């Protein structure tokens, strides 16, 4: 999921300004995987990509805040929300603080 999202961001950077275009691209790249499409769009709708674009490293506090926004606002399992946040971080070339994955 991360690599495909990065490819979309690199090829179609302007899609980040247009939700409908981003949705269409995600559906093209994930035609049989609506779960991942919806997860990525939920993170997009929560403006998580905007916050990630402005940082260089995703630390535990920011990561938890992003995950919480998705889980609370959409009722998504924590693991799925985490994968969406990490996918956006990878796609936007944001480093992930290794300590953020430890309890």
The pLDDT score that the predictor gives to residue 99 is 60
Q: How far apart, in whole angstroms, are the C-alpha atoms of residue 71 and residue 82?
A: 9
> What percentage of the chain carries pLDDT values higher than 70?
94
Check if the beta carbon of residue 52 is closer than 8 Å to that of residue 92.
yes
Q: How far apart, in whole angstroms, are the C-alpha atoms of residue 100 and residue 18?
A: 31
Per-residue pLDDT of 46-94, as tens digits, reads: 999 999 999 999 999 999 999 999 999 999 999 999 999 999 999 999 9
DSSP 3-state assignment of 80? helix
């Amino acid at each position: 999921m991360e690599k495909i999202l990065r490819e979309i961001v690199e090829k179609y950077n302007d899609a980040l300004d247009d939700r409908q275009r981003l949705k269409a691209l995600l559906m093209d790249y994930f035609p049989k995987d609506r779960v991942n499409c919806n997860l990525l769009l939920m993170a997009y709708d929560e403006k998580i990509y905007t916050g990630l674009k402005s940082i260089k490293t995703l630390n535990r506090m920011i990561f938890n805040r992003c995950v919480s926004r998705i889980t609370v606002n959409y009722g998504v399992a924590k693991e799925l929300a985490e994968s969406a946040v990490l996918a956006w971080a990878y796609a936007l070339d944001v480093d992930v603080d290794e300590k953020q994955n430890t309890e």
